Homo-oligomer: A and B are copies of this chain.
């Protein structure tokens, strides 16, 4: 689905024409709260980790709506923060290089915003065990700090948080909804879950508006391709572009729900503009599961180079392998009317198209 900003004064006829022209369109006339463009116009928005994958893609869209975006990013070389991601809109946003754990830095930024997208994170579940206390700081304590600042100073700020399907742990081909028991298998996932609990508690106790997205397997443009700890789709596109073998552990038949970043951004925008989403945990996936090896085959076919190499699971991966995963996205759909636009093949094609001329900025 594309988000089309339609003037409140448009007639039903206009709506019909737009629908005909653009296909599946969000068009809600005379409901200003749901008019996504209007909602974000002039809004003061803070994006932590805003130079990274999710943050920068969201920033592009927000800037196009006339939002006033401030990015805070520490440019940790391990992760995806990359000034190139926002180069084309550099003069329309404010960028602050710093750490989200720095209270004196983020307090004034929170005072000056209406909405915070909190994406700054230690993003690798594999790395989390190598830097356990740093992971605790970034993936849990930072969320608590933001909430405490908002509570103490009574700031009217809404928080949108990117959690992960990883909080759920091992499942096997069940259709997983938001009420499932959580059994996180890595420190990364434990700390994301801790942040979820913080957000729900501060929402319940102090009325701070929050939205929590449990994102499945995100991929797409503006993601770093320096290593394979982040998202395998992007990494494999790089490997295929370099015409190297792509390693698959086991038979590669495990199911994953891959979601293209543009669909994620649209889900963020629709949900955040919609008061019904406040206080909710929302699964954010495509709702469609592909075999891991299918994804790899798509990458190789679209890129036109690379090959598959099958090997056994390494022992330390098997413990944190989550099994087949199929996510129920009906809550998101019913709250916002959102549906994903990008099938896996289409998303991989878009991603490859982007990196084809820009690979050097991301490796």
Contact = CB atoms under 8 A, between A and B. Distances in A.
A299 to B, nearest CB: 30
B140 A144 contact: no
A222 to B, nearest CB: 32
Given A141-B136, A144-B133, A179-B181, A197 B204 contact: no
Interface in A157-215: 179, 181-187, 190-191, 193-194, 197-198, 200-201, 204-205
Given A133-B141, A136-B141, A140-B136, A198 B205 contact: no
A13 to B, nearest CB: 48
Contacts of A182: 182
A33 interface: no
A148 interface: yes
Counting every copy of the chain, the complex holds 2
Contact of A193 (B141, B187, B197): B197
Nearest to A197: B190
Interface residues of A, number: 28
A132 B183 CA distance: 24
Contacts of A179: 181
Interface string A279-320: 000000000000000000000000000000000000000011
Interface in A47-86: none
A198 B204 contact: no
A201 B181 contact: no
Contact of A197 (B144, B145, B184, B198): B184
A321 to B, nearest CB: 12
24 contacts: A133-B144, A133-B145, A136-B140, A136-B141, A140-B140, A140-B194, A179-B181, A181-B181, A182-B182, A183-B200, A184-B197, A184-B201, A185-B201, A185-B204, A185-B205, A186-B201, A187-B198, A187-B201, A190-B194, A190-B197, A191-B194, A193-B197, A194-B194, A204-B319
Given A133-B141, A183-B200, A194-B194, 14 more contacts: A132-B144, A133-B144, A136-B141, A140-B194, A179-B181, A181-B181, A184-B201, A185-B201, A185-B204, A190-B194, A191-B194, A193-B197, A204-B319, A205-B320
Interface of A: 132-133, 136, 140-141, 144-145, 148, 179, 181-187, 190-191, 193-194, 197-198, 200-201, 204-205, 319-320
